[in-house]
Amino acid sequence: MKTLKEVAVGSTAKVKKLHGEGAVKRRIMDMGITKGVEVKVQKVAPLGDPMEVTVRGYQLSVRKADAQMVEVE
């Protein structure tokens, strides 16, 4: 299983499945990160948190803990 956290900077990955539940899963989905969506990793902060990603044409900051719950292919 590969997660969004493991995707290299400049790479694009397709969301396969969201893990987690309740408020955490809802927060990820509210950002537009849902099954089948392409996510491009733009940059990662020096300490690895947060990650800057592009989803559906929008620039977003995703916490490392949230990125770990997004399974990609």
| Spatial separation of the C-alpha atoms in residues 2 and 23, rounded to whole Å | 22
pLDDT value at 18 more than 80: yes
pLDDT value at 14 more than 90: yes
Q: What type of residue sits at position 49?
A: D
pLDDT value at 46 more than 90: no
Cβ count near 7 (within 10 Å):
20
The CATH class for the domain spanning 2-72 reads mainly beta
Cβ count near 66 (within 10 Å):
22
Q: Which two tokens stand for residue 56?
A: 């559906």
pLDDT value at 48 more than 90: no
Q: How confident is the model at residue 20 (pLDDT cuts 50, 70, 90)?
A: confident
